[in-house]
Chains A and B, each alone.
Chain A
Amino acid sequence: MIKHFLKLEWKQFFRASYFQKGLAIKILLVFGAIYFGGSALMLGVGLFFIIKKTFPEADPIIMVNNYLVYWILFELMLRYFMQQLPVMNIKPLMAIPIKRNTVIHYLLGKTTISFFNFISLFLFLPFSVVLLFKGYPVSNVLIWFFALMCIAMSINFLNFLINKSNVVFYGIATVLVALIGLKYFNVYDASEPFGVVFNSLYNQPFLAIIPFSLMIVLYYINFKFIRKGFYLDDAVSKKIKEVNATDLSWMNRFGKVAPFLKNDIKMITRNARPKQVVMMSFLFLFYGLFFFTQKIYIEEMPYLLGFASIFITGGFLLSFGQLVPSWDSEYYKLLMSQNIPYRQYLESKWYLMVFAVIVAFILSTPYLYFGMDIYLIIAAGALFNIGLNTFITLFGGALNRVPIELDTKAKAFSNTNGFNPTQLLIALPKMILPIIIFFIPYHFISFNAGIITLALSGVIGIVFKNFFLNKIEQVYQKGKYKTIAAFSEKK
Chain B
Amino acid sequence: MISTSNLSKAYNGIKVLNIENLDIPKGQSFGLVGNNGAGKTTYFSLLLDLIQPSTGHIKSKDILVNESEDWKPYTSSFIDESFLIGYLTAEEYFYFIGELRDQNKSDVDALVSQFEDFFHGEILGQKKYLRDLSKGNQKKAGIVAALIGNPEVIILDEPFANLDPTTQIRLKSIIKDLAEKQGVTVLISSHDLMHITDVCERIVVLEKGEIVKDLQTSEATLKELEQHFAG
Interface stretch, picked from A34-42, A64-72, A224-232, A238-246, is: A238-246
Contact of A333 among B82, B91, B100, B129 (CB under 8 A): B82
26 A-B residue pairings within 8 Å (CB atoms): A242-B128, A243-B128, A245-B92, A259-B96, A259-B99, A259-B100, A263-B85, A263-B96, A266-B92, A270-B129, A330-B82, A332-B82, A333-B83, A334-B82, A337-B49, A337-B50, A337-B72, A337-B83, A338-B76, A338-B97, A338-B101, A339-B73, A340-B100, A407-B86, A481-B51, A485-B51
- Chain B residues contacting A271 (CB-CB under 8 Å) are 87
Closest residue on chain A to residue B105 by CB atoms: A249
Interface residues on B, range: 20 to 34
Pair A266/B88 contact, Cβ less than 8 Å: yes
- Chain A residues contacting B91 (CB-CB under 8 Å) are 245
- Chain B residues contacting A267 (CB-CB under 8 Å) are 87
- Chain B residues contacting A481 (CB-CB under 8 Å) are 50-52
- Chain A residues contacting B96 (CB-CB under 8 Å) are 259, 262-263
Residues of A participating in the B interface, judged by any CB pair closer than 8 Å: 238, 240, 242-246, 258-259, 262-263, 266-267, 270-271, 330-334, 336-341, 406-407, 481, 484-485, 487-488
Closest residue on chain A to residue B80 by CB atoms: A333
Q: In terms of DSSP, what is the predominant structure of the interface of chain A? A: helix
Give the distance in Å from the alpha carbon of A270 to the alpha carbon of B73 in the complex: 29
Report the minimum CB–CB distance from A88 to chain B (whole Å): 15
Give the distance in Å from the alpha carbon of A332 to the alpha carbon of B77 in the complex: 13
Report the minimum CB–CB distance from A330 to chain B (whole Å): 6
Pair B73/A334 contact, Cβ less than 8 Å: no
- Chain B residues contacting A334 (CB-CB under 8 Å) are 82-85
Give the distance in Å from the alpha carbon of A111 to the alpha carbon of B228 in the complex: 55
Q: A245-B89, A263-B88, A337-B49 are in contact. List 4 more A-B contacts (CB 8 A).
A: A267-B87, A270-B87, A330-B82, A339-B100
Pair B127/A484 contact, Cβ less than 8 Å: no
- Chain B residues contacting A337 (CB-CB under 8 Å) are 48-50, 72, 75, 77, 83
Report the minimum CB–CB distance from B134 to chain A (whole Å): 11
Report the minimum CB–CB distance from A423 to chain B (whole Å): 24
B176 at the interface (CB under 8 A from A): no
Please judge, given known A-B contacts A259-B96, A481-B51, whether A340 and B72 are in contact too, CB under 8 Å: yes
Pair A331/B83 contact, Cβ less than 8 Å: yes
- Chain A residues contacting B87 (CB-CB under 8 Å) are 266-267, 270-271, 406-407
Closest residue on chain A to residue B145 by CB atoms: A334
Pair A339/B72 contact, Cβ less than 8 Å: yes
B79 at the interface (CB under 8 A from A): yes
Please judge, given known A-B contacts A259-B99, A337-B72, whether A406 and B92 are in contact too, CB under 8 Å: no
Pair A484/B51 contact, Cβ less than 8 Å: yes
- Chain A residues contacting B72 (CB-CB under 8 Å) are 337-340
B132 at the interface (CB under 8 A from A): yes
B59 at the interface (CB under 8 A from A): no
Closest residue on chain B to residue A252 by CB atoms: B99
Give the distance in Å from the alpha carbon of A334 to the alpha carbon of B132 in the complex: 19
Please judge, given known A-B contacts A243-B128, A245-B91, A337-B77, whether A331 and B86 are in contact too, CB under 8 Å: yes
Give the distance in Å from the alpha carbon of A270 to the alpha carbon of B87 in the complex: 6
Q: Which of B81-121 contact A (CB under 8 A)?
A: 82-89, 91-92, 96-97, 99-101
Contact of B127 among A243, A332, A339, A407 (CB under 8 A): A243
Closest residue on chain A to residue B66 by CB atoms: A481
Give the distance in Å from the alpha carbon of A238 to the alpha carbon of B133 in the complex: 12
Give the distance in Å from the alpha carbon of A337 to the alpha carbon of B75 in the complex: 8
What are the 4 A-B residue pairs with the smallest beta carbon separation, nearest first?
A259-B99, A270-B87, A337-B48, A334-B83
